[in-house]
Amino acid sequence: MNNNEQLKELVKEKYTAIALQDKEQNATSCCGATSSCCGDEVYNIMADDYTKLEGYNADADLGLGCGLPTEFAKIKEGDTVIDLGSGAGNDCFVARKFTGANGKVIGIDFTDAMINRARENAEKIGFNNVEFRKGDIEDMPVTSNKADVIVSNCVLNLVPNKHKVFSEIFRVLKPGGHFSISDIVLEGQLPEKWKQVAELYAGCVSGAIQKEEYLGIIAETGFSNITLQKNKPILIPDDILANYLSAEEITDYKNGTTKITSITVYAEKPAKDERNCCEPGSGCC
């Protein structure tokens, strides 16, 4: 098993555990999964508050996001919307409020337990145009030019091959379609030992890349009108830092230029695609 596959298995294991517990348990960890990294206090340091958004469903909110991409996604009635890493369905149900009964919402997740939980939530609500598909977002189980809008909340940082994900987003969006994605990025160099802690990878931090590199991948993929819709610093409490850094290293980190940031970024697929992209596996993209 190569390193990328090992990371995927780690994420799958962590998020399976999360799917089987409630939001209050998830909130006791630094980034969602129950772990020893957060001491005795409750921190939910990444997530934004969804409760005021129309379509919000408490059963689907596991407190795992780092933004509110669906709020910024410019979803219209009748749109087809895809949520990448849909979890228990939180963003899908908010998106459904915008698409109405004539639209279509598809959630994609590679964790069986999350798919099952999302489907149970959809059945309780009674939506017949919200669907959850098991799949890897590096190779989406969706035909090309399908979606008007793609959203994702704090998921792409967990994917080893970010170039591949954005190529898939480009393929699946209709010409003229767009995405709004919330994610964790870095400004400055993360302490090396953080990158070696698997737990932090599953919790979003060490899987993050530089902000400029992230935006550069989006531009390289062929998207236009790239816009930062939100930029929020993530402040990690000292008792979490103390599990990975010495007191001196914590002081250096807090006084340094390194920042962990949640961004929400918007971009559009040009109405005319000059790249002649084709189906997954062809290698042309």
Q: Report pLDDT digits (tens) over 208-234.
A: 889 999 999 999 999 999 999 999 988
- Predicted local confidence at residue 28, as pLDDT: 44
Would you give the DSSP letter of residue 53? S
- Predicted local confidence at residue 36, as pLDDT: 39
Q: CA-CA distance, 285 to 278, in Å (whole number)? A: 7
Identify which of 141, 139, 137 has the alpha carbon closest to the alpha carbon of residue 157.
137
Q: Which of 8-17, 181-190, 202-211, 268-277 has the highest mean pLDDT?
A: 181-190
- Predicted local confidence at residue 176, as pLDDT: 97
Decide: residue 156, CB within 10 A, 0-12 exposed, 13-18 middle, 19+ buried.
buried
- Predicted local confidence at residue 38, as pLDDT: 37
Q: Assess whether pLDDT exceeds 90 at residue 143.
A: yes
In CATH terms, the superfamily for domain 3-268 is: Vaccinia Virus protein VP39 (3.40.50.150)
Q: Report pLDDT digits (tens) over 157-186.
A: 888 899 999 999 999 999 999 999 999 898
| Region 130-146 average pLDDT | 96
What does each C-alpha distance from 49 to 4, 22, 71 come to in angstroms?
Answer: 32, 16, 11
- Predicted local confidence at residue 10, as pLDDT: 67
Q: Report pLDDT digits (tens) over 51-81.
A: 888 888 888 888 778 899 999 999 999 999 9
Q: Assess whether pLDDT exceeds 90 at residue 95.
A: yes
- Predicted local confidence at residue 273, as pLDDT: 58
Beta bridge partners of 263: 183, 231
User: 26-30, 90-94, 171-175, 214-218 — which is least confidently predicted?
Assistant: 26-30
Q: CA-CA distance, 176 to 98, in Å (whole number)? A: 19
Q: Assess whether pLDDT exceeds 50 at residue 239.
A: yes
Sketch the domain layout of the chain as residue ranges. Answer: 3-268
Q: Assess whether pLDDT exceeds 80 at residue 41.
A: no
User: 33-42, 59-68, 175-184, 265-274 — which is least confidently predicted?
Assistant: 33-42
Return the number of other C-beta atoms located less than 10 Å from residue 242's C-beta: 14
| Region 83-109 average pLDDT | 96
Total-model pTM: 0.84
Torsion of Cα atoms, 51 then 54 then 60 then 62, to 10°: -30
Phi-psi category of 63—alpha, beta or left, where left has phi over 0 and alpha has psi -120 to 50?
Answer: left
Q: CA-CA distance, 99 to 205, in Å (whole number)? A: 32
pLDDT band at 37 (very low <50, low <70, confident <90, very high): very low
